[in-house]
């Protein structure tokens, strides 16, 4: 709490802390009173009950006090919220698009990335779009989220106040890989950001790498050996893997062109043991045969 | 004693007629209530099993026991079963049907045939929902909220499930209509509005919501079906529709309906507490009027489910403010309940302990709602596990706890036998601890930013998810133990007297179990309202003479 990561996080945390404080007071207080009454007025200690039909003073008291408290709570929430809906005009405008199940961010100069890079202490406004169903762009550390609704142009804005990397999650259920629709925001000092922003996108030796990046492959397959949803790409060429055939029979193979092509075209038929079926869509018609070759060329290089 | 009660059983509605048809075509409100009870218990067990499996899947990151596709179907069906087949009908259809006519001093609801028809609609709707599991392209994976355009485009069996919910909606509407007519027309002579038991008041408020709000969701679900079947563009932008319109129409019903779920529970608490404390309820009118206030205000807060949907900023502010207003009558109820224990002469019973557990859980449910009502905070916790925990605190820790409490309160009246109290205390303790561990952990992990409907999660959420899963084991053991106790006692429990808790409302003035026509002689009504314990001696004397 009170990490001050974004320009909203302290307001939200303050409102949260105040409401939790008031709530705990009533929860603990009323629970203790209830337990005390149950002990004090047990029929053994208090054989004769006293009928009390009510007390107008008390009724007024416990109508007025909660009213005042909830109006205060409303105000705290409203106050923090007003800021969230008032974006400065000079904010950097980035177009954020959600699709099943990846994010993309398009910068004013046309650069497109799958992770968000923003400068420290500068206002950033995200214009939110969806290509298919409703997604919700959620950055927990910044305390913000807003739905990406197809056919609508929602927006959100923020100022990142601390360098670092923070998760971007999807908060609106969007299908099988909803929980894997993850990216991150990198907050860089202004000069680093400028350098990154103006850098010519390095022409990679491997056009396959760009294809993998722009099709959200990397959110499930790491290139550093980390186990994600699918097998890591690191050292994949020639690796011995046990695969499960359609009839459930297990078989050891070496991963080479034949299996990689199969995995691109029919990814759910022969899956590497310990990984789930149904997590990957077919790329049969997404990539041309030439592009598939390019991807395999890149995978070969990851030793 | 034993002799008189054996005859009570012989002369009761249980023995009036025999055979399956005497049940499924009965017009007796008590038998219809029991038909609902058996069906709802069965569906509850299914829903609970699905919830248990979801928690098991979440015990560790990555795949544990099922694939993502299965998980999505499981949480969808868990939600549909628990909302449409269990919680919405639970208290009104079971205890409302059984107790409302008796508490009003009449022999049945106003429209018994409509009552039977409602049960049949419920069974037809439930069968259709179950059919989606085995028939067609696989059960729905949309979540119980059926958000468009996902629900328009998914190739799973959404259409049939929506139609099932539509049919179930009519069951609910007709039950509400029946109760409204019953309360207006069939109150015992001398029972004026403000001398009705508070459970009747809460059912009255509930019935109006059922009657007025349910048709909206009915037509909305039909609109989704039309869009799926005929490609009429209503909610899918690809067809020229608006997804946010769907959310408005859905929540215009689905928010008020949470008061359908909780108001009857509040009514039952207002019955159990005076009996346990042997004194009148504190603030009768405040509680009765606050039920109506909650039902009324509940219509104008649906937008708080949509604070991040891109609805206009002004609308969000208004919805936040009205949401906070609902907290006031709710707080009034809680204060009055606690004050009812003051200077009582309290007899500790399982039903009292269920009720106080409810008050504790419900306070957490309500207070966590205050956090959700605050606009800026809601933006952070909306659609996270926090929200899931919040509504389980109100719906499960709230309504279902009261359902269990009511079971322990009216069990001797309905079955004419008493359950094992020691076992009921043990099962209550396990359920209470398991419940709070499960959902408190979820509350915290949601506050840390874990979104809801997550099949898999980031490593930093592991510990709390594991705690939550272990809690769910304790919870399930507690519930199974309770059900075992009740099922066994219904056949083999000690014979119960007509008035085991020394209550004074009308259901305690007739034999346990009640005879077919409820009243053999005119009940005793105090001029001082439904919770006047000065008539207790007279009530118990009359019971002995029966």
ipTM of the complex: 0.90
Q: What is the mean pLDDT of chain B?
A: 92
The count of CB pairs under 8 A between chains A and B is 274
Please state the rounded mean pLDDT for residues A265-290: 81
Residues of B in contact with A47 (CB under 8 A): 345
User: Among all residues of chain B, which has the CA nearest to that of A40?
Assistant: B343
Residues 443 through 462 of chain B touching chain A, CB cutoff 8 Å: 447-449, 451-458
Alpha helices in chain A (DSSP H): 9-40, 56-84, 190-198, 207-214, 257-265, 289-301
Compute chain B's Rg from CA coordinates: 23
**Model confidence pLDDT, tens digit, residues B491-526:** 999 999 999 999 999 999 999 899 999 998 889 999
Domains of chain A: 9-84 (1.10.287.90), 92-198 (2.60.40.420), 207-301 (1.10.760.10)
Residue appearing with tokens 């100022």: A159
Span A64-121, pLDDT tens digits = 999 999 999 999 999 999 999 999 999 999 999 998 888 999 999 888 888 899 999 9
In this predicted structure, what is the pLDDT of residue B135? 84
Q: Any idea what DSSP says for residue A239? A: -
In this model, does residue B2 exceed pLDDT 60? no
Check residues B70 and A222 and name the one with the higher pLDDT: B70
What's the mean per-residue pLDDT of chain A?
Answer: 89
* pLDDT score recorded for residue A224: 82
Please determine, looking at this structure, whether the domain spanning B2-545 carries the CATH number 1.20.210.10: yes
B-chain residues within 8 Å CB-CB of A173? 72, 143, 147, 150, 452-453
In this prediction, residues A213-220 reach a mean pLDDT of: 74
Instruction: Enter the tokens of residue B95.
Output: 């205890």
Residue corresponding to tokens 């010519």: A200
Q: Contact B376/A53, CB-based, under 8 Å? A: no
Residue of A30, A47, A149 lying closest to B310 (CB–CB): A149
What pLDDT was estimated at residue A279? 66
pLDDT bin (cut points 50, 70, 90) of residue A202 is: low
pLDDT tens for each residue of A12-52: 999 999 999 999 999 999 999 999 999 999 999 999 999 88
**pLDDT tens digits, one per residue of B123-161:** 999 999 999 988 877 888 999 999 988 888 888 889 999
User: Which residues from A are below 8 Å from B237, CB to CB?
Assistant: 150-152
B376 close contact with A: CB closer than 8 A: yes
User: Residue B3 pLDDT more than 80?
Assistant: no
* Residues of B with Cβ-Cβ distance to A12 under 8 angstroms: 376-377, 379-380
User: What contacts B146, CB < 8 A, 6 or more positions away?
Assistant: B140, B158, B162, B221, B224, B250
- Which residues pair with residue A184 across a beta bridge? A167
- Give, to the nearest 10 degrees, the angle between helix B313-340 and helix A56-84: 150
Q: How many CA atoms lie within 13 A of B497 on its CB side?
A: 14
Please tell me the predicted confidence (pLDDT) of residue A1: 64
User: Picking from A249-263, B274-288, B341-355, which range would have the lowest pLDDT averaged per residue?
Assistant: A249-263
Distance, CA of B351 to CA of B425 (rounded, Å): 10
Q: What is the pLDDT of residue B1?
A: 41
Instruction: Return the closest-CA partner of residue B255 out of B247, B243, B245.
Output: B247
Contacts of B75 (CB under 8 A, 6+ apart): B50, B54, B143, B453
* B351 at interface of A, judged by CB pairs closer than 8 A: no
**Are residues A150 and B374, on separate chains, in Cβ contact within 8 Å?**
no
A168 secondary structure, DSSP code: E
DSSP string, A208-235: HHHHHHHTTGGGTS-SSS---SS--STT
Q: Token pair 């249980």 is at which residue?
A: B14
Could you tell me which of B434, B432, B430, B464 has the C-alpha nearest to residue B447?
B464
The nearest CA of chain B is from the CA of A204 a distance in Å of 31
CA–CA dist B119, B139 (Å, integer) = 24
> Inter-chain contact B359–A79, Cβ cutoff 8 Å?
no
């Amino acid at each position: 709490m009170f990490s001050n990561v974004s320009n909203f996080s302290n307001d939200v945390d303050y409102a949260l802390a105040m409401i939790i404080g008031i709530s705990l007071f009533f929860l603990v207080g009323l629970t203790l009173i209830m337990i005390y009454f149950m002990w004090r007025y047990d029929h053994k200690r208090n054989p004769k009950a006293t009928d009390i039909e009510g007390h107008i003073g008390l009724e007024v008291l416990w109508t007025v006090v909660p009213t005042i408290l909830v109006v205060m709570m409303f105000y705290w929430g409203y106050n923090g919220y007003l800021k969230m809906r008032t974006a400065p005009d000079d904010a950097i405008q980035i177009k954020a698009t959600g699709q099943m199940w990846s994010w993309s961010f398009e910068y004013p100069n046309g650069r497109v990335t799958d992770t968000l890079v923003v400068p420290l202490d500068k206002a950033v406004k995200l214009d939110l779009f969806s290509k298919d169903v409703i997604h919700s762009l959620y950055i927990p550390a910044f305390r913000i989220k807003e739905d990406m609704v197809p056919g609508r142009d929602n927006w959100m804005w923020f100022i990142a106040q601390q360098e670092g990397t923070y998760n971007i999650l999807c908060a609106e259920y969007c299908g099988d890989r909803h929980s894997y629709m993850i990216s991150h925001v990198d907050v860089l000092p202004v000069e680093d950001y400028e350098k990154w922003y103006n850098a010519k996108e390095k022409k990679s030796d491997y056009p396959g790498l760009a294809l993998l990046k722009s099709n959200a492959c990397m959110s499930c397959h790491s290139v550093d050996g980390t186990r994600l949803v699918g097998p890591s790409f690191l050292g994949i060429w020639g690796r011995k893997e046990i695969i499960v055939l359609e009839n459930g029979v297990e078989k050891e193979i070496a991963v080479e062109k034949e299996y990689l092509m199969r995995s691109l075209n029919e990814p759910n038929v022969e899956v590497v043991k310990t990984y789930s079926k149904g997590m990957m869509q077919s790329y049969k018609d997404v990539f041309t045969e030439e592009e598939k070759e390019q991807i395999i060329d890149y995978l070969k290089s990851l030793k | 004693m034993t002799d008189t009660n054996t005859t009570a059983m012989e002369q009761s509605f249980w023995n009036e007629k025999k055979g399956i048809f005497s049940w499924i075509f009965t017009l007796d409100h008590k038998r219809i209530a029991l038909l609902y009870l058996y069906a709802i218990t069965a569906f509850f067990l299914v829903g609970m099993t699905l919830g248990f499996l979801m928690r098991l899947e979440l015990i560790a990151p990555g795949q544990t026991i099922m694939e993502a596709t299965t998980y999505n179907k499981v949480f969808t069906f868990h939600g549909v079963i628990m909302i449409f087949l269990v919680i919405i009908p639970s208290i009104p259809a079971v205890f409302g049907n059984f107790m409302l006519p008796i508490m009003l001093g009449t022999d049945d609801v106003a429209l018994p045939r409509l009552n039977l028809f409602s049960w049949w609609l419920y069974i037809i709707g439930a069968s259709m929902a179950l059919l989606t599991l085995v028939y067609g392209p696989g059960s729905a994976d949309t979540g119980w909220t059926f958000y468009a355009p996902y629900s328009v485009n998914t190739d799973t069996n959404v259409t049939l499930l929506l139609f099932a919910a539509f049919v179930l909606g009519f069951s609910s509407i007709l039950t509400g209509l029946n109760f409204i007519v019953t309360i207006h027309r069939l109150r015992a002579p001398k029972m004026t509005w403000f001398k009705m038991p508070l459970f009747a008041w809460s059912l009255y408020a509930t019935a109006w919501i059922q009657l007025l709000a349910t048709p909206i969701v009915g037509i909305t679900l039909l609109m989704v079906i039309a869009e799926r079947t005929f490609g009429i563009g209503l909610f899918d932008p690809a067809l020229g529709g608006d997804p946010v319109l769907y959310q408005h129409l859905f929540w215009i019903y689905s928010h008020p309906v949470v008061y359908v779920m909780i108001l009857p529970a509040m009514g039952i608490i207002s019955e159990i507490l005076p009996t346990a404390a042997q004194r009148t309820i504190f603030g009768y009118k405040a509680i009765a009027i606050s039920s109506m206030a909650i039902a009324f205000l509940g219509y104008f807060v649906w937008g708080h489910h949509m604070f991040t949907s891109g609805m206009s900023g002004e609308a969000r502010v208004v919805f936040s403010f009205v949401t906070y207003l609902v907290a006031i009558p709710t707080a009034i109820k809680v204060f009055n309940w606690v004050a009812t224990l003051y200077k009582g002469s309290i007899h500790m019973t399982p039903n009292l302990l269920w009720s106080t557990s409810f008050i504790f859980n419900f306070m957490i449910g309500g207070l966590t709602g205050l956090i959700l009502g605050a606009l800026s905070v809601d933006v952070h916790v909306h659609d996270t596990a926090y929200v899931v925990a919040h509504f389980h605190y109100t719906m499960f820790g709230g309504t279902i706890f009261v359902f269990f409490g009511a079971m322990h309160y009216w069990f001797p009246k309905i079955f004419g036998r008493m359950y094992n109290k020691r076992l009921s205390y043990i099962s209550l303790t396990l359920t209470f601890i398991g419940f709070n561990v499960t959902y408190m952990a979820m509350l915290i992990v949601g506050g840390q930013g874990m979104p809801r409907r997550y099949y898999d999660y980031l490593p930093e959420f592991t510990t709390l998810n594991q705690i939550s899963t272990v809690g769910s084991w304790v919870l399930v053991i507690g519930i199974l133990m309770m059900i075992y106790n009740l099922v066994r006692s219904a056949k083999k429990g000690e014979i119960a007297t007509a008035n085991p808790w020394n209550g004074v409302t009308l259901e305690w003035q007739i034999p346990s179990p009640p005879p077919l026509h409820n009243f053999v002689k005119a009940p005793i009504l105090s001029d001082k309202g439904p919770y006047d314990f000065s008539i207790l001696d007279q009530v118990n004397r009359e019971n002995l003479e029966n």
